């Protein structure tokens, strides 16, 4: 059992609304400083380990650049090159890394592996994506919503696969108390356990989270429309079947026309045009989408600085 989950960033669920908003405020402040070329060494001499068991472009670059700009250094660790890849246990790897690193970001398959790592490392652990959640992405997405004036009581429509991104949207909506409509094909709904957690959170925050198999119903009148790949990492063998099953779930101009006139479209990337999103919609919203990608850097700097302070406060 992890003694105190809020000393890590393993899921949105683990943090209070106040903490999440504190992290966002920190991210906004540090982003402003960075844009003014003020690089304050909030994490001077700290080393962030970045352990990857899956591919990454944004997560790797944003964490490495982020820790560097905060005065620390990043260490890229691929499981293929570590003894982990030859069978050393996660538990022992965590104990070794915790002795030498100040903070560790992990991208892995099973959320349980991440939890085990956090339990044994003794230092703050950040979820850089698991099959269940992608919480750092959601912090960047929310920052982007704020910057595009879409954070005030928004209606968000998620169209596509009920995956780690969907689950993370459910947790964010549940914590912050906004309306989220999730449209997936039959058989691709979010996990029942995450739906249960979302109900629990909604009862506290007043969030409205609804599920449908009709993308139009989800998008009608939405402020923010979002999607993700239909084939997540590790599901490559299911690609052909998924493409058939997701017919009608592409966010294209006809679907997007049902949203509010000034609605924005978000995508965590990588995007597969012609599948979950049309070329036209992707390019129309490219400025927002790449703000969102850049915000990975700023949001994660907020997370790292917040965790470091949280750690010092005990």
Q: For this structure, is 107 an active site residue?
A: yes
DSSP structural state of residue 260: -
Interacting partner of 57 out of ligand CP, ligand NVA, none (Cβ under 5 to 8 A depending on kind): ligand CP
SS3 47: strand
Query: Of these, 24, 118, 129, 222, which contacts ligand CP (CB under 6 A)?
Result: 129
Q: How far apart are CA 311 and CA 305, in angstroms?
A: 10
Instruction: Return the residues of window 135-154 that contact ligand CP according to CB under 6 A.
Output: 137
The answer to whether 78 contacts ligand CP (rule: CB under 6 A) is no
Query: Of these, 21, 146, 195, 233, which contacts ligand NVA (CB under 6 A)?
Result: 233
Alpha-helical (H) ranges within 56-209 are 58-69, 90-100, 111-121, 135-147, 164-176, 192-205
Interacting partner of 163 out of ligand NVA, ligand CP, none (Cβ under 5 to 8 A depending on kind): ligand NVA
Q: In what order do the strands lie in the sheet with 47-52?
A: 73-78, 47-52, 103-107, 125-127
207 contacts 12 by C-beta, under 8 angstroms = no
Q: For this structure, is 228 an active site residue?
A: yes
Strand partners, 273: 277
The answer to whether 77 contacts ligand CP (rule: CB under 6 A) is no
Instruction: Return the residues of window 256-275 that contact ligand NVA according to CB under 6 A.
Output: 268
Q: For this structure, is 197 an active site residue?
A: no
The answer to whether 164 contacts ligand NVA (rule: CB under 6 A) is yes
Return the CA Rg of the chain. 19
227 contacts 267 by C-beta, under 8 angstroms = yes
- Applying CB under 6 A, the site for ligand CP has a residue count of 8
Query: Of these, 11, 79, 127, 163, which contacts ligand NVA (CB under 6 A)?
Result: 163
Catalytic residue among 15, 107, 242, 298: 107
Catalytic residue among 15, 296, 298, 310: 296
The answer to whether 108 contacts ligand NVA (rule: CB under 6 A) is no
Catalytic residue among 14, 115, 137, 310: 137
Going through the chain in order, the beta strands assigned E by DSSP cover: 47-52, 73-78, 103-107, 125-127, 155-159, 179-183, 208-212, 224-227, 264-267
Instruction: Return the residues of window 257-286 that contact ligand CP according to CB under 6 A.
Output: 268-269
Interacting partner of 118 out of ligand CP, ligand NVA, none (Cβ under 5 to 8 A depending on kind): none
Strand partners, 258: none
Query: Of these, 62, 168, 227, 229, which contacts ligand NVA (CB under 6 A)?
Result: 229
Q: How big is the CA angle at 150 (ends 308 and 64), to the nearest 5 degrees?
A: 35
Interacting residues of 160 by C-beta distance below 8 A, sequence separation 6+: 166, 183, 184, 227, 228, 229, 230, 246, 249, 276
Q: For this structure, is 311 an active site residue?
A: no
The answer to whether 59 contacts ligand CP (rule: CB under 6 A) is yes
Interacting partner of 64 out of ligand CP, ligand NVA, none (Cβ under 5 to 8 A depending on kind): none
Catalogue the active-site residues. Answer: 107, 134, 137, 228, 268, 296
- Please give the residue ranges that form the binding site for ligand NVA (CB under 6 A): 129, 134, 163-165, 228-229, 232-233, 268
- Please give the residue ranges that form the binding site for ligand CP (CB under 6 A): 56-59, 129, 137, 268-269
């Amino acid at each position: 059992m992890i003694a105190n989950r809020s000393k890590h960033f393993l899921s949105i669920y683990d943090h209070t609304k106040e903490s999440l908003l504190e992290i966002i405020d920190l991210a906004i402040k540090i982003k402003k400083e960075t844009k003014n070329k003020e690089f304050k060494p909030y994490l001077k001499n700290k080393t962030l380990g970045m352990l990857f068991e899956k591919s990454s472009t944004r997560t790797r670059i944003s964490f490495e650049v982020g820790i560097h700009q905060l005065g620390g250094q990043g260490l890229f660790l691929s499981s293929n090159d570590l003894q982990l890849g030859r069978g050393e246990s996660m538990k022992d790897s965590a104990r070794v890394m915790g002795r030498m690193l100040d903070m560790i970001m992990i991208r892995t398959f099973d959320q349980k592996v991440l939890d085990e790592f956090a339990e044994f490392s003794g230092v703050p652990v950040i979820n850089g994506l698991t099959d269940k959640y992608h919480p750092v992405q959601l912090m960047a997405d929310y920052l982007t919503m704020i910057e595009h004036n879409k954070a005030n009581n928004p209606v968000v429509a998620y169209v596509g696969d009920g995956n780690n991104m969907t689950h993370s949207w459910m947790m964010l909506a549940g914590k912050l108390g906004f309306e989220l409509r999730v449209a997936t094909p039959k058989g691709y709904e979010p996990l029942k356990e995450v739906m249960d957690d979302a109900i629990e959170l909604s009862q506290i925050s007043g969030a409205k989270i609804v599920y449908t198999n009709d993308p139009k119903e989800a998008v009608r009148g939405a402020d923010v429309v979002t999607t993700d790949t239909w084939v997540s990492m590790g599901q490559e063998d299911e690609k052909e079947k998924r493409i058939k099953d997701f017919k009608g779930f592409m966010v294209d101009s006809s679907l997007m026309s049902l949203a509010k006139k000034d609605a924005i479209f978000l995508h965590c990337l990588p995007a597969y045009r012609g599948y979950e999103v049309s070329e036209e919609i992707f390019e129309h919203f490219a400025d927002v989408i790449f703000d969102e990608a850049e915000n990975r850097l700023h949001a994660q700097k907020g997370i790292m600085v917040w965790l470091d302070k949280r750690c010092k406060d005990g």
